[in-house]
Amino acid sequence: MFAMRLLWLCVATLALLLVLASAATLKDTPKERYDGYGVYRLSVKNKLQQAVIEQLSQLSSKYNIWKDYDEHSQEVHIMVAPAELQHFQALLSLHAISSEQIIENVQDLIDAEQVTPAADSAPFGWTKYYELSEIEAWLDSILAAYPAVTEEFIVGQSYEGRTIRGIKISHKAGNPGIFIESNIHAREWITSASATWFINELLTSQEPAVRNLAESYDWHIVPVFNVDGFEYSHAKNRMWRKTRQPHATNECIGVDANRNFDSHWLENNGASSNPCSETFAGDVPGSEPEAKALTEYLKTIENEFSVYISFHSYGQYLLSPYGHTKEEFPDNYDDLLEIGEAFATAVESLPYGTAYRYGSTADVLYVATGTSVDWVFNELNKKVAFTIEYRDQGRYGFILPPVQILPNCQELMAGMLALIDKTEELGYL
């Protein structure tokens, strides 16, 4: 008996040590640096050029796709390691691919992103970006401050054992529901900054239109969905996109969670089967505990929401289904376009004049399969589901300067008010 207890104690201590050790590794190992890394806008005119870039993007330690090829812009944004530059330039000229440098030194932007106003001593705000623990502490304070109208919900656990948390804001029973999922892509930091701002507005704004938004709908909001990836993007690698689960015997870690859902999974080249690709779909649909947890959770609250929105950056788009094909469009595509137009017009009418394009993902951007939005639309049969791709169009890309957080949030609110108004007018809410 005593020996048994001792054995258990040893096992428990060992497990604790392992957890502590892995937590320590993340903090102790140095951060990935991006000195001299440039980002280039390539103009891609034919299939051969497309194939060359596709090949480059497989060399994941040297090249990183920031924005995939789309037929409208006929552009790719790609980050290149300094040691590769000569080879890269030679390849471009060999294949007559014209290019323009849009970011000279990614590390400079990462450094500048950390410089925040000295006067900003508030515990939480929207003039800087916060880590997961800070966002969670803020969420706790909000839940404590507004107990009558807020409630925490748990989507599930991540691969590394973190809890994926959400907040429900409800002023009365029977309200139609809107679900917001944010930061499924780790490096898209503006998405969780915008989600927390939006939560705060719903709870504190005195504007009649915002009060109406807050009180007439139930909001289910997950500010940071890809918790492992987000933590990793802060602690280790600012440019991390995927989840953190290792796959097979491969050295490349993680899956594009937004390709891992069971809707046209891995069809039509809308994702990659290569574990080193930034759009790796996973070994099977739902291979990622995060994606699996979200689908299970959404099924349990299926009757509690009618609109689904996923926050991303960058590019300035409001994207609707389908992602898997541009040969077909949803039955209610005209309505989705009308909602898109309302959103874009409202955003553009602000003094910033920021232009958003709208339409189906596959038509306006590129074919993407196994996305959360398409799963909700196709499998849960929710008729209004969108992806918002926030600022900008490549000047800063994923490293949107903190001074742009608030302007981006104002655009979100203007767009969201118009989106919900139009959705209601068309009878979906």
Residues engaged in binding ligand 0X9 (CB under 6 A):
185, 188, 258, 312, 319, 323, 361, 368, 371, 373-374, 387, 389
Q: Annotated catalytic, 113?
A: no
CB nearer ligand 0X9, residue 49 or residue 361: 361
Shortest Cβ distance from residue 278 to ligand 0X9 (Å)? 8
Please state, in angstroms and rounded to a whole number, the distance separating the CA atoms of residues 160 and 148.
32
In 3-state terms, what secondary structure has residue 69?
Answer: strand
| Nearest residue (beta carbon) to ligand 0X9 | 323
CB nearer ligand 0X9, residue 220 or residue 312: 312
CB nearer ligand 0X9, residue 288 or residue 389: 389
272, interface contact from Zn ion, ligand 0X9, none, CB < 5-8 Å by kind: none
CB nearer ligand 0X9, residue 142 or residue 319: 319
229, interface contact from ligand 0X9, Zn ion, none, CB < 5-8 Å by kind: none
Residues interacting with Zn ion, by CB under 5 A?
A: 185, 312
Please state, in angstroms and rounded to a whole number, the distance separating the CA atoms of residues 392 and 407.
11
Whether residue 21 contacts residue 84, with contact meaning beta carbons closer than 8 Å, is answered with no
Shortest Cβ distance from residue 387 to ligand 0X9 (Å)? 4
- List strands edge to edge, sheet with 150-157: 150-157, 163-169, 218-222, 177-182, 307-313, 384-390, 317-320, 357-360
Q: What totals of helices (H) and strands (E) does the chain contain, helices first?
A: 12, 12
Q: Residue 89: which H helix or E strand, with range? A: helix 85-94
Please state, in angstroms and rounded to a whole number, the distance separating the CA atoms of residues 419 and 428.
11
Shortest Cβ distance from residue 188 to Zn ion (Å)? 5
CB nearer Zn ion, residue 185 or residue 234: 185
At position 114, the amino acid (one-letter code) is: Q
Please state, in angstroms and rounded to a whole number, the distance separating the CA atoms of residues 362 and 368.
7
Whether residue 339 contacts residue 419, with contact meaning beta carbons closer than 8 Å, is answered with yes
Shortest Cβ distance from residue 121 to ligand 0X9 (Å)? 33
CB nearer ligand 0X9, residue 69 or residue 159: 69
CA count, 13 A, side-chain hemisphere, 421: 14
387, interface contact from ligand 0X9, Zn ion, none, CB < 5-8 Å by kind: ligand 0X9
Shortest Cβ distance from residue 378 to ligand 0X9 (Å)? 10
CB nearer ligand 0X9, residue 361 or residue 423: 361
Among 188, 231, 290, 389, the one annotated catalytic = 389
Mark 207-222 as b/e (b = at least 16 C-beta within 10 Å). Answer: eeebeebbeebbbbbb
In 3-state terms, what secondary structure has residue 63?
Answer: strand
Shortest Cβ distance from residue 185 to ligand 0X9 (Å)? 5
Q: State the SS3 of 353-373.
A: CCCCEEEEHHHHHCCCCCCHH
Please state, in angstroms and rounded to a whole number, the distance separating the CA atoms of residues 143 and 216.
19
363, interface contact from ligand 0X9, Zn ion, none, CB < 5-8 Å by kind: none
Cα dist. 245→84, 123, 232, 341, 420 in Å? 28, 32, 12, 38, 36
373, interface contact from ligand 0X9, Zn ion, none, CB < 5-8 Å by kind: ligand 0X9
Shortest Cβ distance from residue 310 to Zn ion (Å)? 8
183, interface contact from Zn ion, ligand 0X9, none, CB < 5-8 Å by kind: none
Could you list the beta-strand ranges (E) of 243-350. Answer: 307-313, 317-320
361, interface contact from Zn ion, ligand 0X9, none, CB < 5-8 Å by kind: ligand 0X9
- The residues carrying an active-site annotation are 389
